Every structure is written in C-alpha cells, then in structure tokens.
Amino acid sequence: MDNPLLLIALVAVIAVLAMVLPRWIRRSSGERGRRAGRRFEEDQLLAILDTLGTAVELGTDPQAARRLVDGVVQREPRKFTILGEGVYGIRFVEPDDAIARLVSGPAGTRLRVEEFREYLGRPNTAGFWTDLRSGVVAAASDHGITYSTPPVPSRFERSEDPGPIWRLTD
C-alpha cells in the first residue's frame, strides 16, 4: 500500500458501505418480518374460519334440536343469546356478533354459523362457537341423539357494508 490514493479509495468505499448497508439490512429484514407476519395472520384466519365453518348435524327433528340447543344456550347467558326460533347469538361485544341457526337437512337438523362480525382485524367468536358446539354435542349425547360434524367446513365471504362482516356462502 505504497500509493496513498489506493488507501483513500479503500477508506471511501468502507465509509459508503457503512452508510448504505445498515439501511439496506433494516429495510430487507423489515420486509421479511412483515411477510412472515402476514403469512402467520393468514394461517390464523384460515384456522378461525375452519372452526366457525364446522357445523353440527343432529339426528333429530327441528323442534327437538331447538329444545336441546335452547337448553345449552340458556346455561351461559353471557356468551349466548336466543334471538328467535332456532336462531342464536354468540357474544364477543354485542349479543349478535355471530349468528348461528338451526336448519333442516336430509339427515336431521344442522346447527351452523351463518354470519359473524370482525373486531380488531379478525373474527373473535371462534372460541365461543367451539364452546356452544361442545355443549350441544354433550347434551345430544346425554339425550341419546346422534350427532356428527361434516368433514368439509362451510365457507364464508367477507363484506364491508356496515363493517367487516363474514357471511355464509353456501
């Protein structure tokens, strides 16, 4: 390194790299973190939608199914509300944040979620829906009523009309 010009050029390159490299590393790692966060949120959302889309098939007529579900709903009034004949509200903030309904089918009566609201950027009633399903299955088992859960969950579509609301598509 006898040439001072070569030494000055090397110092200049190191100085430029020291100024540019940290910004590039921050920007690159920040983008990777955001992508990983979006993937995680999407996976979480798909799991929540699968949970909310899982219905319960009860092997009984609609009146007996309604009496059975009414009994389960009345046991936990802070989580669930009877909104009408065979229509139930699941509470996160409001009594009708998610709406479940009994519908007649070829094998009996199906209890399914038909719509739900989104709070804080995602649906929050999946845990309560699981509690309601578990309670209905336990009550059906106690009363000797056959039950099953369809292998393919229902599908929902998101709309923004009054706010983020998901509705059953099938």
As a whole number of angstroms, the distance between CA 58 and CA 140 comes to 8
- Picking from 134, 110, 139, 61, the residue whose alpha carbon sits closest to that of residue 126 is 134
Query: pLDDT at position 72, please?
Result: 94
Query: pLDDT at position 75, please?
Result: 93
* Cα angle: 10, vertex 16, 22; to 5 degrees: 130
Q: Using an 8 Å Cβ cutoff, are 74 and 99 in contact?
A: no
pLDDT exceeds cutoff 80 at 162: no
Token duo for residue 8: 């000055």
Query: pLDDT at position 14, please?
Result: 83
164 secondary structure, DSSP code: S
Q: Using an 8 Å Cβ cutoff, are 71 and 139 in contact?
A: yes
Higher pLDDT: 105 or 140? It is: 140
Q: Is the dihedral of CA 140, 153, 35, 159 positive or negative?
A: negative
Number of DSSP helices (H) and strands (E) in the chain, helices first: 3, 9
Residue 114 CB-density burial (10 A; 0-12 exposed, 13-18 middle, 19+ buried): middle
Higher pLDDT: 159 or 71? It is: 71
Could you identify the residue written with the tokens 């229509």?
A: 87
Domains and their CATH numbers in the chain = 47-168 (3.30.310)
Query: pLDDT at position 83, please?
Result: 93
pLDDT exceeds cutoff 60 at 77: yes
pLDDT exceeds cutoff 80 at 164: yes
pLDDT digits (tens, 9 = 90+) for 87-131: 999 998 888 889 999 999 878 899 999 999 988 878 888 999 999
Query: pLDDT at position 1, please?
Result: 52
Task: Quote the radius of gyration of the chain (alpha carbons, Å).
Answer: 27
The pTM score is: 0.76
- Give the mean model confidence (pLDDT) for residues 21-49: 82
pLDDT digits (tens, 9 = 90+) for 6-16: 878 888 888 87
